[in-house]
Amino acid sequence: MEQRRFGTAARCGMTDITGDVEQYLHARAADGIQDGFVCIYSPHTTCAVTINEGFDPDVQRDISTFLSKLVPENSGFRHSEGNSDAHVKVSLIGASCLVPVIGGRTALGQWQRVFLCEFDGPRTRTLYFSFIRAE
Amino acid sequence: MEQRRFGTAARCGMTDITGDVEQYLHARAADGIQDGFVCIYSPHTTCAVTINEGFDPDVQRDISTFLSKLVPENSGFRHSEGNSDAHVKVSLIGASCLVPVIGGRTALGQWQRVFLCEFDGPRTRTLYFSFIRAE
Amino acid sequence: MEQRRFGTAARCGMTDITGDVEQYLHARAADGIQDGFVCIYSPHTTCAVTINEGFDPDVQRDISTFLSKLVPENSGFRHSEGNSDAHVKVSLIGASCLVPVIGGRTALGQWQRVFLCEFDGPRTRTLYFSFIRAE
């Protein structure tokens, strides 16, 4: 599994990592990769990964802002680090996602992009990239 | 990856697509498929896929109705298309799901069915079906 | 796919099943498993699986308690069994998760553990464990 690092800029926000998925596939051109999924996995417990609209940056802001309202930082949590909201959001969004690959290239929908969802930044994050074959 | 199309009937609702997963596996009977997962992937950013109870149609209605209350259409979103609620729901539910296959047949739990979750319909939707081998 | 059973102790709560994932991999040491994912799949419609922090038990309690507030048991649901809140939570959290494996061993992040999320217990639950190869 290849590890790639990403810097995040704020406590909460979404970082478009689609270019990295494309670079990853490009770098593996000699490996005979055809159809399947790039699995993006977050080994962190306060950031997640998702696929959503990447055309209008307002969508990313709307998602981040809404999640912050849905899971307020101060919800009477017991965990002493004060970031339980981030942990809740990670379980809602998920620690991994599957990016479709056809003929060795990403086969995302027209408006889809892949995002790292930061819920307790800013930090440097590491994601695992690997390829799962599909038939 | 095989593409299958589905028509949805309302702005929000769940469509049972389990029959299509079974048909897909049946059509691939000659491919030596035994154990693994059918991955159902949505290339859209306003519809998702999930696995949940399919016996009592009230469950689907309860899930759809609750999600509409949880993420109201009018939540002060900035995105000008007015469907940011749908984008939020897609990241909460997920763009893909894995349907278990044992001996070439779906191995869902007794009450489980596979659903397309429409959040900005009615529309014609395309889902990608593929098989991932497991050991 | 291997089936493993787990007893849950309350209506809602999280059970750490990471030890079972490690045991599963250990038992398969002769199968040449190197890199990929253990897929944990729940065939139930009122319990889910997730990956989150396992160091401070307060995090698990915070997640469970917050989800119970987010999706109240009594939300005007129609489903007569009275457990629609559990069904909603399953679609929010997900019926399966992927646990990374490198060199035949779990490669979770430093604070990550794998959890069964019970939403309508106490019950005996069965989860499917299988290995998906990645390249």
**The complex's ipTM?**
0.97
CB of A100 within 8 Å of any CB in chain B?
yes
CB of B133 within 8 Å of any CB in chain A?
yes
Nearest residue to A116 (alpha-carbon basis) of A99, A135, A133: A99
CB of B72 within 8 Å of any CB in chain A?
no
Give pLDDT < 70 ranges for chain C.
Answer: none
Residue type, C85: D
Q: pLDDT digits over A12-46, tens only?
A: 999 999 999 999 999 999 999 999 999 999 999 99
Residue C50 with chain A: CB contacts under 8 Å: 91, 95
Neighbouring-strand partners of residue C132 = C37
Contact C62 A77 (CB under 8 A): yes
B64 band by pLDDT with thresholds 50, 70 and 90: very high
The pLDDT value recorded for residue C56 is 95
CB of B51 within 8 Å of any CB in chain A?
no
User: Which residue carries 């893909």 as its tokens?
Assistant: B96
| A62, A66, A68, A69: CA torsion to nearest 10 | 140
Average pLDDT, chain A: 97
CB of A103 within 8 Å of any CB in chain B?
no
| A12, C54, C92, C85: CA torsion to nearest 10 | -120
Average pLDDT (B23-39) is 96
The pLDDT value recorded for residue A132 is 98
B26 to B41, B106, C1, C46, C73: CA distances (angstroms): 19, 10, 20, 29, 39
Average pLDDT, chain B: 97
- CA A108/CA C50 separation, integer angstroms: 25
Contact B80 A53 (CB under 8 A): no
Burial class (CB in 10 A: 0-12, 13-18, 19+), A4: middle
Average pLDDT (B74-80) is 92
| Pairing, β C124-133 against β C2-7 | antiparallel
Residue A92 with chain C: CB contacts under 8 Å: 92-93
Which of A16, A37, A40 has the most B C-beta neighbours within 10 Å, making it the best mutation to test the interface with B? A37
Nearest residue to C123 (alpha-carbon basis) of C9, C43, C16: C9
Contact C56 A77 (CB under 8 A): no
The pLDDT value recorded for residue C65 is 97
The pLDDT value recorded for residue C38 is 98
Contact C43 B108 (CB under 8 A): yes
Average pLDDT (B74-92) is 95
Interface B–C counts its CB contacts (< 8 A) at: 96
User: Which residue carries 């309508």 as its tokens?
Assistant: C120
The pLDDT value recorded for residue B27 is 97
- CA B80/CA B88 separation, integer angstroms: 15
Average pLDDT (B54-61) is 96
Q: For the sheet containing B47-53, what is the strand order? A: B13-16, B112-118, B47-53
Residue B90 with chain A: CB contacts under 8 Å: 52
- CA B44/CA B128 separation, integer angstroms: 11
The pLDDT value recorded for residue B125 is 98
CB contact at 8 A, A98 and A115 = no
Q: pLDDT digits over A90-115, tens only?
A: 999 999 999 999 999 999 999 999 99
Residue A93 with chain B: CB contacts under 8 Å: 91-92
CB of B3 within 8 Å of any CB in chain A?
no
CB of A56 within 8 Å of any CB in chain B?
yes
The pLDDT value recorded for residue A133 is 98
The pLDDT value recorded for residue C83 is 96
B16 band by pLDDT with thresholds 50, 70 and 90: very high
| B25, C130, A5, A59: CA torsion to nearest 10 | 50
